[in-house]
Structure 1
Amino acid sequence: MAPLESVRQELSQQFPCRKDQIQVLSTLFEASFPSPPTTVVHGLEATGKSVVVRAVLQALDVPHAIIDSKECITTRQLLEQAVAATRNSVHQALGTGLLHGNQIKCETVNALENHLEKNIKDVPKFVLVFDGVDRQKEAPMTLLPGLARLGTIIPNLSIVFIITVPNPRLLHLPGTPHIQFPTYSKEDMITILSLDPQDIFLERVDEERYDYGEEEASEDKAWLWPRYCAVVWDSIGKGAARDLRTFTLICYNLWRPFVQPIVDGTHGTRDFSKLLVSRRSIFQGDEALTGKIISAKPSAEDQNNRSKPTFLELPYYAKFLLCAGYLASYNPPRQDKIYFMKSTERKRRRRGGNAGGRASKHRKIPRHLLNPSPFSLDRMLAILQSILIHPVAQTGQISAQIATLTSLRLLLRTGAGTADLLDPATRFRVNCSWEYVSSLGRSVGIELRDYLAT
């Protein structure tokens, strides 16, 4: 095993900005020193908790098992995975290989204690890590305190909890060491992303023609990438990137549009100020924050389709039925002879003033702005025969369309009524707006204003 200092130095280079946490973890779980029975590692998302803990335990060559709570639906599954992972890790550390047998039943923390005592008795130290255990589904209140006390019962066992936000009363166990992973600052994020700068040119540049080789390309991208990341943080990342993962995604999405003038030959690789001025528009929009399903620039056809109102497509006679129901709901029954009789030639006129020609003292509210009134089924069917272009018999098709409108809640039953929906005495009330039913009427050649009373 490598010396402790060399392990710390190697891990610090692999995980920058986490030197203090690596030093504390390597000290606590070094093989030649006793480890605390319970340790809490906490921090927000995308702060490197899980990956650093795993890397430290692997570098120290300590037998360990990591249980991810996101993969466990129930508490029993969490405990059984802990038993299986512990058994396989111990056999792998002893050189006997992995075991492939029947899954061991484990339903309680006491059963887990018995299995762990049998499995780790041949190793001097074992670390059991529960990652994200504070978000375990269907977890009882006694799960975390029970798991935390396993380290005090079994001498060669150390429990590590990786959680998001610590709670003083989470474990009911005093003296538990806590290791915090703070969020990355601007300098930390730029330092981490600078470890892997993106290429400026996707295709290899002709060295003989442009006198530009691999060494110059590496120097240019190492010089340009950190300055670009700083601009992304100041313009977008500071307000929209909540963690390192989101900030990295934004930087990757905007990199190719940013360096396109360099690829085209308009600007040089070191003309950062001119490049920033020419490409400042990409830092002012939100294209990098929107998902890939949403198109940044909708086509003219999509804009025309959005401008058109969309209505529920109904069968042919259902449209007439809904128009008849609207007229029956907003027209007084006493005016049905005026608007729906076809026996004589008549003029439909608006009844808004007095007979003597004097102005009315009271302004009348349009009827379609009032609440709909209930109507009977036989009245709606009579209005339907009046507004239809050609007469139709009352067959099962009409009855089916009435049931369809009722199931869509475009027609609502009112009152107790009878159990039969198609009883002539059943009363309904229309449940749609004037804009919808007028457009529906125009689609079948009916202008409802000619039939609507004032």
Structure 2
Amino acid sequence: MTSIFELPDDLLAALIESFPCRDAQIRALATLLYPRAAPCRNLIIHGTEATGKSAVTLRLLEALSSASSSDDDAPLFNYAIVKSVECVTARHLYERVVGAVGDALQWESEGRPAVGRCETIAALTVELTKMLKYDQPQERDSRFVLVFDGIDRQREPPPTLLPALARLSEIIPNLTTIFILTAPSPSLLRVSSVPQLYFPPYTKSEYVTILSRPPYLPPSLPNTTPQETTDLWTRFTAAVHDALAKPASRSLPGLARSCAALWPRFTAPVAAGTHRAREFSKLLVAARAYFQDEAVLEPGITLAKGPISAGEKEARSSSSSSSKDLAALLPPTARLLLIAAYLASHNAPRHDQTIFSTWHSGRRRRRGGGGIAHRITKKAKHRKIARKLLGPSAFVLERMVAIYAATRQEWVNDENDGAENQPTVDGDVGMAIATLASLRLLVRVGGAGGAGDTMDRGGKWRVGVGWEVVRGVGRSMGVEVEEWLVE
């Protein structure tokens, strides 16, 4: 008795050879798409990043489409892929869908009427029905697959976008809609019995298997046979996975980049002739410093020229690198607001009028430790712990803006007035606050998960950076933040 399923086994064998450790997903996907197998109306493909979802889907669709065009006996098969992350709005998505389907069918090249505008899901349904339902040959089985890649990252999606797209296959019988995303919710499409295909993360053995095949397999080492190089590479990739799986190799591309960066250093003794390829333990001991140094994988993570301790490395990467990066990347207004936020978080509100009110009368403050904050420090009760070493306190947005308004003239136009590189305040405070909030340099506290209007004058915030970072940002503008702190 012959089976009702007719999968192109030779085609699937080539795909399985190209994508090792994904044979189950390839066969399941082919079964749910091929017209003479068990085609479905809607399909959800999900999994974490870099698990092969999009790559496997694209290659399978290309193979099925090529087979149908080269064999007259094969069923008609066509497809279109839309990358949702590239669409700015829902209307942009609709236009991209119609354009992709029209290109796949060569709609306008055959003298057919031009496709109309698609501003709503209803217009999209009309255009797709016209192209796929009424103008397609019906004498033999056919299938059109429409793929929405990364649909969970669609910008400004309407609340009914996915359920509406899932209903297209009910109107167009020969349509299969695929939704590729990371983690589906239980009521994503609001349609019962939607098959889901899961692409799980690769395991350690699967990582080693994939990396032991071209194009990841490295060339043979000097004075070493190809088999010895392959064996050494296999054990090396397993060691890299065990050492760097969590911080640097959470995906296949990340692990491949780590192995490519460490391999020349790991095999340097073999190339020099001091060790043999079979002496894996000795090579691992000789190269253990490379497995512990993040600068090998990310050369810009540290600024040290010589060997430094782990404590020094952490301090330099969290202070010098962070402050210099912020001073170079943030505009002047954002930097001034960040300093004002730090002062609002670490100075008590009762000192604001004493410190900042003198600027309204036009008087300038002398530097060198003779400021108002310094005089308050002498009168204040001695603290066992400096205030700048304590955690930041929450402050009202209006207070931070008031500190910024009271001090910006002093911080921007100091004794160096007229200097060529003196920064200027652009006045766009709202944009600067939104920038700091998006970078988590300012953190909104209170409310429903910290959500709300960023310009709410009564909203409470907390500075998200430490003393070393703020001091570096201040010095980049000629501001000594410590002179404005009340101990």
Normalised-by-shorter TM-score class: 0.5 to 0.7
Query: How far is 1:56 from its partner?
Result: 1.3
Aligned to 1:190: 208
Aligned pair partner of 1:297 in 292, 295, 304: 304
Contact 1:50 1:131 (C-alpha < 8 Å) held by counterparts: yes
SS of match in other structure, 2:9: helix
Contact 1:200 1:263 (C-alpha < 8 Å) held by counterparts: no
Change (3 A) 1:322 1:188: same
Structure 2 unmatched ranges of 5 or more:
1-5, 66-76, 308-315, 333-362, 381-405, 416-470, 479-487
Aligned pair partner of 1:262 in 259, 263, 270: 270
Contact 1:15 1:52 (C-alpha < 8 Å) held by counterparts: yes
Aligned pair partner of 2:23 in 19, 31, 35: 19
Change (3 A) 1:325 1:145: same
Change (3 A) 1:113 1:280: same
Aligned to 1:235: 243
Deviations 1:351-389 (A, max 9, x none): xxxxxxxxxxxxxxx8462479xxxxxxxxxxxxxxxxx
Contact 2:98 2:115 (C-alpha < 8 Å) held by counterparts: no
Aligned pair partner of 1:109 in 117, 121, 125: 121
Change (3 A) 1:248 1:6: same
Change (3 A) 1:403 1:174: closer
**Are 2:98 and 1:90 aligned?**
no
SS of match in other structure, 2:305: coil
Aligned to 2:294: 286
> In 2, distance between residues paired with 1:245 and 1:101?
45
Contact 1:84 1:104 (C-alpha < 8 Å) held by counterparts: no
Q: What residue identity is the alignment partner of 2:10?
A: S
> In 2, distance between residues paired with 1:239 and 1:406?
44
Query: How far is 1:287 from its partner?
Result: 2.5
Change (3 A) 1:79 1:186: same
Aligned pair partner of 1:274 in 278, 282, 292: 282
Q: What residue identity is the alignment partner of 1:74?
A: T
Contact 2:261 2:297 (C-alpha < 8 Å) held by counterparts: no
Change (3 A) 1:163 1:407: same
| Pairing of 1:50-129 with structure 2 (within 5 A) | 50-61=54-65, 62-91=77-106, 104-120=116-132, 121-122=135-136, 124-129=142-147
Aligned to 1:32: 36
Q: What residue identity is the alignment partner of 1:227?
A: R
Aligned to 1:323: 366
Aligned pair partner of 1:9 in 1, 9, 13: 13
Contact 2:163 2:189 (C-alpha < 8 Å) held by counterparts: yes
Query: How far is 1:227 from its partner?
Result: 0.5
> In 2, distance between residues paired with 1:235 and 1:186?
12
SS of match in other structure, 2:202: coil
Aligned to 1:176: 194
SS of match in other structure, 1:147: helix
Change (3 A) 1:257 1:327: closer
| Pairing of 1:338-417 with structure 2 (within 5 A) | 367=375, 369-370=377-378, 405-406=409-410, 408=412
Aligned to 2:168: 150
Change (3 A) 1:168 1:327: closer
Query: How far is 1:37 from its partner?
Result: 1.1
Change (3 A) 1:281 1:73: same
SS of match in other structure, 2:106: helix
Number of positions where the alignment pairs a residue of Structure 1 with one of Structure 2: 325
Contact 2:48 2:182 (C-alpha < 8 Å) held by counterparts: yes
Q: What residue identity is the alignment partner of 1:198?
A: P
Query: How far is 1:252 from its partner?
Result: 1.3
Q: What residue identity is the alignment partner of 1:251?
A: C
Deviations 1:96-143 (A, max 9, x none): 969999774211111111111222231521000000101100001100
Change (3 A) 1:329 1:55: closer
Larger mean CA deviation between 321-330 and 158-167 belongs to 321-330
Change (3 A) 1:98 1:139: farther
Contact 2:50 2:252 (C-alpha < 8 Å) held by counterparts: yes
Query: How far is 1:403 from its partner?
Result: 9.7
Larger mean CA deviation between 280-289 and 246-255 belongs to 280-289
Contact 1:88 1:98 (C-alpha < 8 Å) held by counterparts: no
Query: How far is 1:45 from its partner?
Result: 0.7
| Amino-acid identity (%) | 35
CA RMSD, Structure 1 to Structure 2 (Å): 4.0
Query: How far is 1:328 from its partner?
Result: 7.3
SS of match in other structure, 1:21: helix
Query: How far is 1:10 from its partner?
Result: 1.4
SS of match in other structure, 2:235: helix
Deviations 1:71-102 (A, max 9, x none): 1111111111110110111129xxx9699997
Contact 1:31 1:60 (C-alpha < 8 Å) held by counterparts: no
SS of match in other structure, 1:249: helix
Change (3 A) 1:30 1:368: same
> In 2, distance between residues paired with 1:112 and 1:40?
21
Q: What residue identity is the alignment partner of 1:64?
A: Y
> In 1, distance between residues paired with 2:370 and 2:291?
56
TM-score by length of 2: 0.59
Contact 2:84 2:148 (C-alpha < 8 Å) held by counterparts: yes
SS of match in other structure, 1:182: coil
SS of match in other structure, 1:145: helix
Contact 1:91 1:99 (C-alpha < 8 Å) held by counterparts: no
SS of match in other structure, 1:293: helix
Change (3 A) 1:69 1:371: farther
> In 2, distance between residues paired with 1:87 and 1:329?
71
Change (3 A) 1:99 1:56: farther
Query: How far is 1:264 from its partner?
Result: 1.4
Change (3 A) 1:199 1:405: same
Structure 1 unmatched ranges of 5 or more:
206-211, 313-319, 331-365, 373-401, 412-432, 441-454
> In 1, distance between residues paired with 2:219 and 2:113?
49
